């Protein structure tokens, strides 16, 4: 059997896969098994933040895997120490928990909010409010926290204690605060929901509401974090800081990671035995993440992301078939005038450009290391496909 046949026959049919076998890549160009090349405007849904096989990242990962590939969390490792120390400095969140995916990071965040509340107020205050149209993951609890009905099917019974408020509607949010709410969870830019940024005033008002009611504000930065929007965390654009922030995808540079970061208020909520993970904080993954962090926080890197994003957005805006753009920085949603986004994605793939969709939009999450030439090459293909 070939690669596609073997995979299709023996993996669960969870994904609507495109018949393209990626075999190798360098920065934002990848090659398939037939030798065809593609410009990457998707970065594996935001994970390959430094592109494919970035030298610093490869060296960090390979050097680490040669000396120590795994240690259980009863012991200490240098890469985990370096990552948490640097990440605490960059984000201002003093403590964190390492897991393996965005969903796991969000599970940890929900546990932190609930335990903070149960330690202080007892059992009856465990409700998490999240937003309509949100996406927080595929585990049972994070599906329950996801504000889209399509995800609330088949897997009954879902955990209780999750309610939804309309995005950008403060009155609706206030109406959910019945005294049982311990946490409010949101993406400042809803990614899977269609690259929809929340209003700044709304996010600031939510922050205030959380402060007034001792509610933990959880910001899910699984898709927006690690420089994607031109700041290290997207919440910086909104002028607020969460109590709990989750990261995944990009910070791993292409290896599985999920991080739940907490502020001083939540720093001591998780106590020995109340949470854990076998692979979380794995030294190889952490060594790669340190290389990502060092690159993204190097002088001038985020400025270059902002500049490249502004250029890409300006050029996209000139394409007649494009109605409007959404998102911030290098997280770009594209509303088309007449074409279907999914058809365009397939046509772009055929023409040698990898793009994504989110709801009815095209979605671009290019590697942050993308060069001007690669942006131009991708734009040329997109212009043709949209003509």
Ligand X SMILES: Cc1ncc(COP(=O)(O)O)c(C=O)c1O
List contacts with ligand X (CB under 6 A): 101-103, 106, 135-137, 187, 191-192, 220, 222-223, 248
Q: Least separation, in Å, of the C-beta of 63 and ligand X?
A: 26
Nearer to ligand X, 230 or 252 (CB): 252
Q: How distant is the alpha carbon of residue 3 from its chain centre?
A: 28
Nearer to ligand X, 102 or 280 (CB): 102
Q: What share of the chain is helix, strand, coil (3-state, %, to 5)?
A: 40, 20, 40
Q: Least separation, in Å, of the C-beta of 48 and ligand X?
A: 14
Q: What is the enclosing helix (H) or strand (E) of 23?
A: strand 22-26
Cα–Cα distance measured from residue 368 to residue 153, given in angstroms and rounded to the nearest whole number: 36
Q: By the 8 A CB rule, do 245 and 93 touch?
A: yes
Q: Which two tokens stand for residue 179?
A: 């005294």
Phi and psi of 333, rounded to 5°?
-100, 140
In angstroms, how far apart are the furthest CA atoms of the chain? 61
Cα–Cα distance measured from residue 95 to residue 245, given in angstroms and rounded to the nearest whole number: 11
Q: Least separation, in Å, of the C-beta of 116 and ligand X?
A: 21
Nearer to ligand X, 177 or 247 (CB): 247
Nearer to ligand X, 165 or 386 (CB): 165
Nearer to ligand X, 248 or 305 (CB): 248
Q: Least separation, in Å, of the C-beta of 331 and ligand X?
A: 10
Q: Least separation, in Å, of the C-beta of 191 and ligand X?
A: 4
Angle between the N-to-C axes of helices 301-317 and 372-386, in degrees from 0 to 180, rounded to the nearest 10: 20
């Amino acid at each position: 059997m070939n690669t596609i046949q073997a995979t299709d026959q023996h993996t669960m049919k969870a994904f609507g896969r495109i018949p393209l076998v990626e075999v190798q890549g360098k920065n934002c160009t990848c090659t398939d098994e037939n030798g065809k090349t593609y410009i990457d405007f998707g970065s594996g849904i935001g994970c390959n933040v430094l592109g494919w096989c970035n030298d610093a990242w490869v060296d960090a990962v390979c050097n680490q895997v040669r000396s120590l590939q795994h240690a259980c969390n009863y012991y200490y490792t240098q890469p985990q120490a370096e990552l948490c120390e640097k990440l605490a400095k960059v984000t201002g969140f003093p403590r964190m928990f390492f897991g393996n995916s965005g969903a796991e990071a969000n599970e940890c965040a929900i546990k932190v909010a609930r335990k903070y509340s149960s330690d202080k107020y007892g059992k009856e205050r465990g409700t998490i409010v999240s937003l309509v149209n949100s996406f927080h993951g595929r585990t049972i609890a994070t599906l329950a926290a996801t504000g889209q009905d399509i995800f609330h099917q088949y897997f009954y019974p879902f955990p209780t204690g999750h309610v939804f408020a309309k995005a950008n509607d403060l009155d609706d949010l206030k109406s959910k605060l019945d005294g049982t709410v311990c946490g409010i969870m949101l993406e400042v830019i809803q990614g899977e929901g269609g690259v929809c940024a929340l209003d700044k005033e709304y996010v600031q008002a939510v922050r205030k509401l959380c402060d007034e009611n001792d509610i933990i504000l959880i910001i899910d930065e699984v898709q927006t974090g690690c420089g994607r929007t031109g700041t290290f965390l997207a919440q910086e654009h909104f002028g607020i800081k969460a109590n709990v922030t989750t990261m995944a995808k990009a910070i791993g540079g292409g290896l599985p990671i999920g991080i739940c970061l907490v502020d001083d208020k939540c720093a001591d909520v998780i106590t020995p035995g109340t949470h854990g993970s076998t692979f979380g904080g794995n030294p190889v993954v952490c060594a790669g993440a340190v290389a990502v962090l060092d690159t993204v926080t190097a002088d001038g890197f985020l400025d270059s992301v902002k500049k490249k994003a502004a250029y890409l957005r300006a050029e996209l805006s000139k394409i007649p078939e494009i109605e409007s753009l959404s998102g911030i920085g290098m997280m770009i949603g594209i509303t088309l005038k007449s074409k279907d986004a999914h058809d365009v994605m397939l046509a772009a793939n055929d023409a040698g450009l990898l793009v994504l969709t989110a709801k009815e939009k095209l979605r671009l999450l290019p590697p942050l290391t993308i060069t001007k030439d690669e942006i131009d090459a991708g734009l040329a293909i997109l212009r043709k496909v949209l003509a």
